[in-house]
Amino acid sequence: MQGVASDSFYQLKRYADSTKNYCIFVAPNGYGSGTPLWNQEAKDHTFFDDMLKIFKDSLCVDTTRVFSCGFSYGAMFTYSLSTNHQKQLRAVACYAPANWNIYLPVNTHEPIAYMQTTGISDSSCKWIYSDADSQGGKYCVSGHAKDNGCTIPATIPTTTSGSKTHICYEFMGCQDKYPVKFYSFDGGHQCAPVDGTSGTDNSKKSWIPAETWKFFTQF
């Protein structure tokens, strides 16, 4: 995950440094150096548990504020963790997650603060992959909204093609301290879209790092 580290961990380290809110950042590879990415049954979950234990044993870690975020397969793995690691993770941010081509454990349905971004033209991690099988980004976010006791609207608002902007929908009625926020944007399979454009990826100009930092630091 050298790309994540060289990009200041989705630019979150830049915010940590500028506010002197120092954090421990980690960008791990999946089991077997990430091949075939984050889809090795429970092996990557075991790896995460072992890694977190090492950090807790050897570093000064605020165990009430452990977070995970990722893009694409990183988002899928983060989503996978969010379904059964609610006691270890305070909040997660998933940039283009999916729930049909990744190992998914038995969902404990406990609450977790959840943030998600999805491009409305994403053909890799679609907003709706299969309504019949409850697969797609829509079902990632609505599942957590249900687990957090939020009110789920008949239609979750999304931005429109050609708008060159993003919109945020914050679910209402959620359990206290367990918000769910969904950001849709005019673009495709991207982790750093830029308002005013469609298809541009630039983490230093994207709105996502600031929104993620704000989401995490509320806890």
pLDDT at site 58: 97
What are residue 93's DSSP bridge partners? 69, 115
CA distance 39 to 74: 10
Longest dimension (CA), the chain: 50
Domains of the chain: total? 1
Separation of first and last alpha carbons in the chain: 26
pLDDT of residue 3 exceeding 90, the answer is no
Residue-range definition of the domain harbouring residue 127: 2-217
Residues 176 and 166: beta-carbon distance below 8 Å? no
Q: 3-state class of 81 per DSSP? A: helix
pLDDT of residue 78 exceeding 80, the answer is yes
CA distance 56 to 161: 45
CA distance 167 to 175: 23
pLDDT at site 33: 56
pLDDT digits (tens, 9 = 90+) for 103-134: 999 999 999 999 999 999 999 999 999 999 99
Report the chain's mean pLDDT, rounded to a whole number: 94
pLDDT of residue 36 exceeding 60, the answer is no
Which pairs count as long-range contacts for 201-207, CB under 8 Å and 24+ apart, including other chains?
203/7, 203/8, 203/10, 203/11, 204/11, 206/11, 207/166
pTM metric for this prediction: 0.95
pLDDT digits (tens, 9 = 90+) for 134-155: 999 999 999 999 999 999 999 9
pLDDT at site 166: 98
CATH number where 94 lies: 3.40.50
pLDDT of residue 40 exceeding 80, the answer is no
Transcribe 121-173 into DSSP letters.
Answer: T-SSS-S-SBTTTTBSHHHHHHHHHHHTT-B--SS-----TT--SEEEEEPBS
pLDDT of residue 101 exceeding 90, the answer is no
Mean pLDDT of 153-182: 98
